Structure 1
């Protein structure tokens, strides 16, 4: 019997997201908009092994013959008019919690897939930095171009692919900034339900002077909207700290409202620091249109 956890975003969902991204992006690029292409063309970045999803046109056939096509070799290019996209994604154990079979992490993964597949359309480089326990531990995959790398990043977020460890410094802004080699679009995707979230947002705001930082906040109040219980007292277990707390039935009923108020307050603090915040529902029918609109606005900023 398989013990592998179910996919947060399966192949069918990725395909559906990709089709909707392509349809919406074509509407955008065929419309009246500023050019997103600048400079003299493309620059050669380097060679790498072929990955599923890479285009046939990107294969370096002469170099591949030297390896006897095991593996095939891909030539990577970089367009001067583009900027890398690096998603900072919450991988905390608490994001695997939820209700009705929908974990909070599913919202994080869908947001990552949508942003990544839109980057593929514009030939932008895409990478990820994951964190857990309030940025205590971090890991990363360097930005690359291509659909195959986006799928690779999604597998890494779900714990199926090894990642490069990011050494954490005293300040979060220094740690993340030191990992970025050039000006980057930096969506930070989380529910921000950790104790020092306000302080972490303040540190992330320091990156906004160089990079394009946006908070993508997953509305996780649904995960705390629990059914009524007959017991007067309920024992709650924290999956991250391992602590147990006894709470009354009234406190249990108010959990969802407290989470919503917490996120509302963090959103106000982020706006006060001139950081844009995108609130997302875990329902893909509600979140995907908002994400696509976000991507288009960011493309206009880069024009």
Structure 2
């Protein structure tokens, strides 16, 4: 555990240095609140947006009143991590699940140092772990320890079910980081609901072996989730074309879904330096805020 924390702290320091160097210090925290929360009501003034009128208060007959809002200063952050069997693909210590956990750890430490409240939900085809939001470095360390000690009860994936669980427990508008390889189906409706209610960032984990499937002839392939084994001709052009088509279509559909609902999308290649890829996340957040 000590080794893991030292590694995450080292990565976090790299991210902060890159941000300071490339952005010349002009950086607003990625965990800063992006929405507005109700402050008070006041008397209507000429030029006020009529959409802000509080009709319930105005109906009492003491004049017309409008709602005023203030920027959210305290941001709640939730990490939703897919821990299903398909995440166990990749070289030892560089599997998608390992990278996903490390990303969660880095973000937890970063959020703690920016006084953000951070929670964790791990999902497969069921809720595997729920860590209530908390602040401070001790909470971040506890979250990381819980995450790396987790042994999922199920290997199967059901992102739709996992997202529904998140929607049921996250009541206040929050920043959500949904981390998965998205090797699943029929989760679009739930991702849409998540994006409409919260500030959503989608992080898709990808392994090079999945994208460049080697020609190995006829071999047995074991489904990491169901455990079923099937014999497949990996050298067949028909197999390779369908496999690549399905993989590409999955990624393109996810990107389109994110654009449609104004959710940020980041692809993480587990074989590359994901720290630099994470910096792209911060850049996206900065650009979004400047154009807002």
TM over 0.5: yes
RMSD: 3.6
Confirm or deny: 8 A CA contact 1:21 1:118 kept in the other structure.
no
| Pair member with larger Rg | 2
1:82 Cα offset (Å): 1.7
Confirm or deny: 8 A CA contact 1:84 1:125 kept in the other structure.
yes
Does 1:180 find its partner at 2:167?
no
Confirm or deny: 8 A CA contact 1:188 1:216 kept in the other structure.
yes
1:141 Cα offset (Å): 0.2
1:26 Cα offset (Å): 5.5
What stretches of structure 2 of length at least 5 have no aligned partner?
35-71, 153-157
Taking a change above 3 Å as real, the CA distance of residues 126 and 296 of structure 1, as seen in their structure-2 partners, is farther
TM (norm. structure 1) is 0.66
Taking a change above 3 Å as real, the CA distance of residues 283 and 97 of structure 1, as seen in their structure-2 partners, is closer
- Aligned partner (choices 84, 108, 113) of residue 116 of structure 1: 108
Q: Deviations over 1:207-233 (max 9, x none)?
A: 22331012111123434645443xx42
Question: SS state of the match for residue 132, structure 2?
Answer: strand
Confirm or deny: 8 A CA contact 1:89 1:188 kept in the other structure.
yes
Taking a change above 3 Å as real, the CA distance of residues 173 and 11 of structure 1, as seen in their structure-2 partners, is closer
- Aligned partner (choices 84, 91, 97) of residue 99 of structure 1: 91
- 1:290 corresponds in structure 2 to 277
1:282 Cα offset (Å): 1.2
For 1:37 and 1:233, locate their aligned partners in 2 and report how far apart those are by CA, in whole Å.
53
For 1:226 and 1:159, locate their aligned partners in 2 and report how far apart those are by CA, in whole Å.
31
Does 1:191 find its partner at 2:181?
yes
Does 1:237 find its partner at 2:222?
yes
1:94 Cα offset (Å): 2.0
Q: Deviations over 1:179-231 (max 9, x none)?
A: 1142210010000012x2xx2132122122331012111123434645443xx
1:269 Cα offset (Å): 3.1
- 2:26 corresponds in structure 1 to 31
For 1:260 and 1:253, locate their aligned partners in 2 and report how far apart those are by CA, in whole Å.
12
Does 1:147 find its partner at 2:116?
no
What stretches of structure 1 of length at least 5 have no aligned partner?
1-6, 39-79, 163-167
For 2:7 and 2:137, locate their aligned partners in 1 and report how far apart those are by CA, in whole Å.
14
